[in-house]
Amino acid sequence: MTNSDYSNTAPRIAILADTLARWTGGIDFLRFCISALDSVSPGTTWNVLLPSRNSRKSLIALAKNGIKSLIGRKTSSLTGIPRRELIDGLTSSGSRINIVSYRDTSSGLTAAMRNCQAEALFPCASSLGCPFPLPWIGYIPDLQHKRLPHWFSERERKARDKLFTKILADAPAVVVNAVAVVQDIEEFYPGHKARLFTLPFCPPANTMQFSDDSGPTVRRIYRLPLHYFMVSNQFWIHKSHETAFLALRQVRDAGHDVHLVCTGNTHDYRWPEHFSNLKLIIANNHLQDSVHILGLVPKSDQLRIMHESLAVIQPTLFEGGPGGGAVYDAISINRPSIVSDISVNREINIGVARFFKAGSAEDLAAKMVDLLNNPPVMPPTEELFAQLIVRQHEYGNFLLNISSKVAKGAIA
């Protein structure tokens, strides 16, 4: 469906950052959306809605953990919203935001929207319910629990099914990041009421300036080697870091003195032992001096580290959007990437990307060696950015037009 199918009337949109603000991939997605909206309406200050720190839900969860602790039961992880990381991420591309706190109830969210004079709320990763008095747009990141059920507990699979079924029943419109996600929804949730909209693949044109001394500076701060590939993912089990580690071993055995730099949160709530297992793989393959794990770093530093890399490696076994946030960032600063060949990644249609067989350390190593021997010819930055800016306008208009239809109750 083209943008011409929608009204050009631009509604006032409020950005809901409750669930998505709790993980770096969600923050990246919010940044991409705000950057696209900003390209259509430059100079706008975007209202980003967050539940208050002392929300009723947080206090209840804290009380439950206290009771569990007293009776000797395992407590639940209380992952708060990292506001500093959120603000850093959302403003790194130059957008202006205003954090609006609200009481974490339906009436509290309604009041916040009205105070902002918002005509639509986006993206809602859980259903606000049919009775919610103001227009809202749903968002489903992926159906990983359907494609890779063995990495989820039965309880979590049921919870995700319940969550997505409700969104698809209550929301007039649901936005996804890839055609592959639409196909999964149609397969696993047939007969849903919501209308699905696939966002265009649009990494933002990142105009961040990389001075001649930014490379040496970032290398000194993080003690980085001269030649390195980069993996920039959270250390979740489906990201398949081990594929990159084993490939690096083969590349070094072939005589190439290259390293691997990794950024991202090292905790996987589903598999708490996963990071320890990865460190064991590093040790068993004698890569302690060749793999550099930096953890979470400020967005601006992450991009500078990426800018100095040979290429970004994306070994993931599953994504909800083409390439995941790492490849978006690589394209946005005109760096090459080597990407697993899962179907959603095949939707990458701009930038310089080479594909390898997902899960194959041998094929990834071959592609890494090929890149070292035959460095890719990158497009002129100005030419790439011109294309990305056009796409960014299309992305922004797409969001505005969907929001306009929802605000007017005109979603068919």
Span between the terminal Cα atoms of the chain, in Å: 13
- Owner of token pair 């063995």: 150
Report the pLDDT value the prediction gives residue 54, as an integer from 0 to 100: 61
How much is the pLDDT for 25?
85
Structure-block tokens of residue 168: 């698809």
User: Omega into 135 within 30° of 0, i.e. cis?
Assistant: no
214-378: CATH number: 3.40.50.2000
Cα atoms in the 13 Å half-sphere on the side-chain side of 85: 18
- Return the pLDDT at 207: 73
Distance of alpha carbon 49 from alpha carbon 124, whole angstroms: 11
Residue in 309, 281, 283 with CA at minimum distance from that of residue 225: 309
The pLDDT of residue 6 is 36
Q: What's 3-139+389-407's CATH class?
A: alpha beta
Burial 318-337, CB ≥16 within 10 A → b, else e: bbbbbbbbbbbbbbbbbbbb
Give the bridge partners for 296, in sequence order: none
Q: Is 177 helix (H, G, I), strand (E, B) or coil?
A: coil
Rg, Å, the chain Cα set: 22
**pLDDT (0 to 100) of residue 69:** 36
Say what the pLDDT of residue 67 is: 37
Rounded CA gap, 73 and 154, in Å? 20
CA pair distance 281, 258, nearest whole angstrom: 18
- Is 64 within 8 Å of 5 (Cβ atoms)? no
**Could you list the pLDDT tens digit for every one of the 412 residues in the chain?**
333 333 344 579 999 999 999 888 899 899 999 999 999 999 999 999 999 876 555 544 444 434 333 333 433 444 566 788 888 888 877 889 999 999 999 999 999 999 999 999 999 999 999 999 999 999 999 999 999 999 999 999 999 999 999 999 999 999 999 999 999 999 999 999 999 999 999 998 887 767 666 778 899 999 999 999 999 999 999 999 999 999 999 999 999 999 999 999 999 989 999 999 999 999 999 999 999 999 999 988 999 999 999 999 999 999 999 999 999 999 999 999 999 999 999 999 999 999 999 999 999 999 999 999 999 999 999 999 999 999 999 999 999 999 999 999 988 6
State the pLDDT at residue 3.
37
Cβ atoms 256, 138 nearer than 8 A: no
Q: In the prediction, which pLDDT does 80 show?
A: 65
State the Cα torsion 285-269-330-217 to the nearest 10°.
-70
- Cα(107)–Cα(127) distance, integer angstroms: 14
Instruction: Give me the pLDDT at residue 5, please.
Output: 38
CA angle 131, 137, 141 (to 5 degrees): 120
Angstrom distance (rounded) from CA 47 to CA 245: 41
CA distance 314 to 364: 10
Token pair, residue 281, equals 């793989």
Instruction: State residue 63's pLDDT score.
Output: 42
Whether the model clears a pTM of 0.75, i.e. scores above it, the answer is yes
Read off the DSSP letter of residue 347: G
